[in-house]
Amino acid sequence: MQPIRVAPTSSQADEWALVLTAAGIPNAVEPTAAGWAVLAAPDDLARAQAVLAAYDDERRGEAPRTAAAPEPYPWMSGVALGLLLLWLFSLTGTPASGSSWFERGAAAAGRIVAGELWRAVTALTLHADAVHVAGNALAAAVLLPPLVPRFGAGGALLLLLLAGALGNVLAALTHDPRHVAVGASTAIFGAVGVLVAVRLVTGDEATSARKRWTAPVAGVLLLVTLGAARGADLTAHAFGFVAGAALGLAAALAARRRPRPAVQWTLGAIAAIVLAVCWRLALRA
């Protein structure tokens, strides 16, 4: 056998040898003073050189694959959302204070079913008291950042808003028409559902089935332990979790990579516009 090429490393020589093997050309790799030589029979030299040349051209034509740059400071998005909830609470106050915001924007089941769908969104920004809003603000600060590297800040915010709104609508369909609820908890449990869905979609194939189901089981346990506290709307929490899981699954399958910054800004703007439009409808009703 005669040398075709000499590689500086054994791994490079093995790569070339693999290409030749795939083309059906017998070959061998031997160490030399200059490196690692790839050998082939004299009758195969011309064809082997042509195969390797075509392989080189193909490699040069490939666009360089670089990993997406990590999202800078993803925790800031969670802190920002938590502070937004606290700021909104400072504006709306509590229902005990006679605030008109609650009459206009609370998730009254009967009114949502009757067509006032904007209440499913506006109710997410209203809270019963300081403890209520503080708990949701803290939960948002913890649960939003893990979604940012996958969907971007704008995409994650839109997913939470949609999950919370859908959860409130589904809860209104099952509640007594007189039932009234407020709080971002439905969206918070939507975040848990999104996290579970993403874990299932992106789970490593080498990971055992037991480990792969850790996230769903943890999500259900969180729903039961934190969502079933006294006075909590367990129905809305459950629907928020289910809505988040469905939306997260769809989003994870549709977008295998984190959206580009321009797309993220667009998604974030859509979330802000939806919230503003819903409150405008509520205040004009």
Model confidence over 268-283: pLDDT tens digits? 999 999 999 999 999 9
In the predicted model, is pLDDT for residue 119 greater than 60?
Answer: yes
Report the 10 Å Cβ neighbour count for 28.
14
Among residues 161, 141, 196, 172, the alpha carbon closest in space to that of 268 is found at: 161
In the predicted model, is pLDDT for residue 205 greater than 90?
Answer: no
Q: Any long-range contacts for 55-58 (C-beta under 8 Å, 24+ apart)? A: 55/16, 55/19
- Taking the model in full, what pTM does it have? 0.69
What is the gyration radius of the CA atoms in the chain, in angstroms?
A: 28
Domain 75-284 CATH class label = mainly alpha
Confidence grade of residue 150 (pLDDT, cut at 50, 70, 90): confident
- What value does the mean pLDDT of the chain take? 84
Q: What is the pLDDT of residue 12?
A: 86
pLDDT top residue among 145 and 278:
278
In angstroms, rounded to a whole number, what is the distance separating the alpha carbons of residues 216 and 227?
A: 15
In angstroms, rounded to a whole number, what is the distance separating the alpha carbons of residues 17 and 217?
A: 47
Residues of the chain with CATH 1.20.1540.10: 75-284
pLDDT (average), residues 207-233? 54
Report the 10 Å Cβ neighbour count for 8.
10
Residues of the chain with CATH 3.30.70.1530: 2-61
pLDDT top residue among 269 and 68:
269
Report the 10 Å Cβ neighbour count for 90.
8
Residue 86 backbone phi and psi in degrees, to 5: -65, -40
pLDDT (average), residues 18-34? 86
* 45: its two tokens: 């030299």
Element (H, E) at 150: helix 148-174
pLDDT top residue among 161 and 222:
161
Element (H, E) at 37: strand 36-40
pLDDT (average), residues 202-215? 49
Confidence grade of residue 208 (pLDDT, cut at 50, 70, 90): very low
SS3 3: strand
In angstroms, rounded to a whole number, what is the distance separating the alpha carbons of residues 209 and 206?
A: 9
In this structure, which topology does domain 2-61 adopt according to CATH?
Answer: Alpha-Beta Plaits (3.30.70)
Q: What is the pLDDT of residue 164?
A: 95
